[in-house]
Structure 1
Amino acid sequence: MSIPTDHPFAFDPTYGYGLAELRAMRPPPPPPGFDAFWQARYARALAVDPQPVLTTSASTHPDWQVHDIAFRSTGGFLIGGWLLLPRSGVVKRGLVVGHGYGGREQPDFDIPVEDTAVLFPCFRGISRSACAAISSEPYWHVLHDIDDPDRYILGGCVEDLWVAVSVLAGLHPGLDGRIGYSGISFGGGIGAIGIAFDRRIDCGHLVVPTFGNMPVWLSLPTVGSGASVQAYRKTHPEVREMLRLFDSATAATRIEIQMLFAVARFDPAVAPPCQFSVANAASGARHHETFTLDAGHFDYPGMTEQQALLSERVRHLFRVR
C-alpha cells in the first residue's frame, strides 16, 4: 500500500505532510463561548417533536425492510431519508448515518451491521431534504447564512443529526444508550460536532472528516467545499473568527465515547492535516482507534483491500453488545 503519485491536481494532495507530522497535528483552542453555543443548540434540538412519517419505499433489499422517512428538524425544516430495519432478528441497536457533500441517492445496503435500525437522513438542503431556499451545490451550500453563526447552515445540519437520534429513540425506545453515528467527509465533520455534545450517542465512526482545524482548512488549496469559503474570506476576513465555532477538531476534544476514525494521507478535497487534527483531538475518548487510508476522495490501487479491512473494524465497533 502507498499513497498515489499520479494525479491531475495542480497541488500536492499530501501538502508535504509525512505520517509523523500528521499524527502530531493538534486542534486549535476553542473560542470564547464555544460550549455554551453548542449546548444551547442541542437543547433546542431536543425540544423538537420530529413527527416522523414512514412509508414503504420503492427500494427493496432481501436483508432489509426499507422505509422512506420524513421528519421535522429545528426551524421546521423537513428532513427526508430512509430507515432500514432488519428482516430477521430483533432490533437491538440504532445507527444514524451521515453523507458526504455529494448527498445520497439511496441507503447503503452493505453497511456491516446486524440487529440494527439504520437511519439515513439527508441534511437540510441536500438530496431528499432539498428546498428552494438552500442551494444543494456544495460550493453554495457551505456559504448559506455564513455571516450569521446562529443561522449558518452547518449548525442546522448538526441539529438535523441530533433530531435524527431523537427519531430513532422515539421509534425504538429500547435503544436508549445504544445509538451510534457514522459519517463521511461532510457528514464526518458534522458528526464530530454532533457526537461531542450528544450523550445519547454511544460510539462513532468518522471517515475523512472535514471542517477540522479551520486555520489550516482555510489556508490550503482544495477542490472541496473549503475552496468556496476561502474565496468568500478574501472579501469577508471576519468569517475566520466566526468559523472557530464550527471547528470539528475543536469539538472532537469533547468526545469521550468509543470512536473509530478513518483518515487519509492524500486527499484533494479535505486536507489530511485537517482530518488528522480531528482524529488526534479525540485521543482522550474511552476507546480510540485511527485507521490510516492511503487516500481519500480519490481512487487508488489497494483501495478495495483497505476498505475491506476498515469494514471489519466498523462491524466490530457497531456490533450488538
Structure 2
Amino acid sequence: MPSFVHEFPFDPSYGRTLDDLLAIPAPPAAPDDFADFWRARHEAARGVATAPEIGPLESERDGVRIHGVTFTSVGGVRLGGWLVLPADGPVRHGFVIGHGYGGRQEPGPDVPLPLPGSAAILPCVRGMGARGLVAGVPEVSGAHVLHGIESRETYLIGDCVADLWCAASALRELVPELAGTGPLGYLGESFGGGLGALALPWDDRFGAAQLTVPTFGNHPLRLTLPCAGSGESVRGYHREHPEVTEVLSYFDAATAAGFLRQPTLVAAALFDPSVPPPGQFAVYNALAGERELLVLSAGHFEHPGLADEAAALSAGRTRFFGEWLGR
C-alpha cells in the first residue's frame, strides 16, 4: 500500500489493502426498477433534437483541429464544449470525453486522443465550466452534487448523464462518417467516470470505455467515508435527510456497472482523498462485461510517481481502445 505524507484529517486509503478493495461489491439492495428508470431517461434523451453547431477553429495541435461546439440537451438546455477533428485524413473513430468535477476550461490533457484518426466531443455538462453554465444550476461541486437531490426525477446528476447521451448524438450528427466506423468510445475521469458508468449500460452506440477514479460507486459505503470531494456534501446532507438514500440508490455507479457489458478499462487508486477508493473499486468489481484494471497508487493527489503513472495510463488507454475499437 502507498504511504504518502498528507494533512487530511482522515486516511485516504481508508485502511484497505488491494485485496480488500477487490472484494468490495455493489450495494446489495438495488431498486427493482433501476434499469427501467435509466432506459426511460435514455429514450427521452435520444429523442432530443440536439441541433449542434460548430464554432470557429480555436487551435490546432497533436494532429487535430479543435473547434468550439454547442448542442441542445434535455429540457432544452443549450450546452457547449469542444469538437476535435483530425487535421488530415479520414475519421476512423469517435469518442465522447467526460470531465471531472469543476468542469473544463479547455480541452487540456484529453488531447491527444487515444487513437489516430479520431473525432471527439468534449462536452461541458450543465453547471460545469464556462461553456456549461446554466441559470439556476450551481457551478460549485459541493452545491452541484446536491441540486435537486430531493427526488430521482429532479436530481441534477440524471440530467448530467443525459448531457453525455446528447453529446454523443451531436457528435454523430456533426461527423456523419462515424455512422460507418463502428461504435464510439467513452473516456471519463472522477465525476466523468461516475457519469460514464451510469450512462453506458443503456446506450449501444458505445463499444468500449475507460473510467478513471470513478465516483458515485456504492453510495451506502461512501456515506460512511469522509472525503475532501463532493461526496462530503452528500454525507452532510444525509445526516439531516437520511431518506436521501432512496434517491441515491438510483444514481449508484456500482449498481449501474452490473448492467455495463461494453469492455471497460478502470484506473482505480489505492489512495484518494476526493473519491474514496472503496467506491472506485466497487465500480470495477461490479462490471458485467470484459474488464481490465489499472491500479494507481493515488488519485486526486500530487505525488512523485504521478507523471510515470499518467504515462502508463495513456499507453494503456491507447492499447485498450486499439484492441476494442481499432478492429
Report the TM range for the smaller structure's normalisation. Answer: over 0.9
- TM-aligned CA distance change 1:110 to 1:4, over 3 Å: farther
Equivalent residue, structure 2, for 1:81: 81
Q: Is the 8 A contact 1:4 1:295 kept in 2?
A: no
CA–CA separation in structure 1 for the residues paired with 2:62 and 2:266: 30
Equivalent residue, structure 1, for 2:208: 203
Q: Is the 8 A contact 1:4 1:294 kept in 2?
A: no
Q: How does 1:47-196 map to 2 (within 5 A)?
A: 47-61=47-61, 63-107=63-107, 108-127=110-129, 128-176=131-179, 177-196=182-201
Aligned to 1:262, what secondary structure does the other structure show?
strand
Aligned residue identity for 1:197: W
Give the deviation of 1:130 after TM superposition: 0.6
Aligned residue identity for 1:226: G
Q: Is the 8 A contact 2:137 2:144 kept in 1?
A: yes
Give the deviation of 1:11 after TM superposition: 0.4
Q: Structure 2: which 5+ residue stretches go unaligned?
A: none
Deviation larger for 61-70 or 76-85: 61-70
Per-residue Cα deviation, 1:214-250 (whole angstroms, up to 9, x for no partner): 0011110000001111111111111011100000000
| 2:251 aligns with one of 233, 246, 250 | 246
CA–CA separation in structure 2 for the residues paired with 1:89 and 1:33: 45
Per-residue Cα deviation, 1:262-320 (whole angstroms, up to 9, x for no partner): 000000001101000001111x31x3100000000001121211111111111122233
CA–CA separation in structure 2 for the residues paired with 1:71 and 1:110: 23
Equivalent residue, structure 1, for 2:34: 34
CA–CA separation in structure 2 for the residues paired with 1:200 and 1:62: 26
For the pair 1:232 / 2:237, whether they are aligned, the reply is yes
Q: Structure 1: which 5+ residue stretches go unaligned?
A: none
Aligned to 2:61, what secondary structure does the other structure show?
coil
- TM-aligned CA distance change 1:280 to 1:154, over 3 Å: same
Aligned residue identity for 1:87: A
| 2:286 aligns with one of 240, 263, 281 | 281
Per-residue Cα deviation, 1:136-170 (whole angstroms, up to 9, x for no partner): 00010001111021121100010011111111222
Deviation larger for 209-218 or 58-67: 58-67
Per-residue Cα deviation, 1:169-209 (whole angstroms, up to 9, x for no partner): 22223324420100000000000011111111000000000
Aligned residue identity for 2:309: Q
Aligned residue identity for 1:14: S
Equivalent residue, structure 2, for 1:24: 23
Aligned residue identity for 1:23: L
Aligned residue identity for 1:159: A
Equivalent residue, structure 1, for 2:14: 15
| 1:255 aligns with one of 230, 247, 260 | 260
Give the deviation of 1:131 after TM superposition: 1.7
Aligned residue pairs, count: 318
Aligned residue identity for 1:238: E
Aligned to 2:268, what secondary structure does the other structure show?
strand
Give the deviation of 1:77 after TM superposition: 1.0
For the pair 1:265 / 2:270, whether they are aligned, the reply is yes
Q: TM-score, normalised by structure 2?
A: 0.94
Equivalent residue, structure 1, for 2:309: 306
Aligned residue identity for 1:96: V
Aligned to 1:56, what secondary structure does the other structure show?
strand
CA–CA separation in structure 2 for the residues paired with 1:147 and 1:106: 32
Q: TM-score, normalised by structure 1?
A: 0.96
Question: What RMSD in Å do the two structures reach over aligned CA positions?
Answer: 1.2
Aligned to 2:58, what secondary structure does the other structure show?
coil
CA–CA separation in structure 2 for the residues paired with 1:262 and 1:10: 25
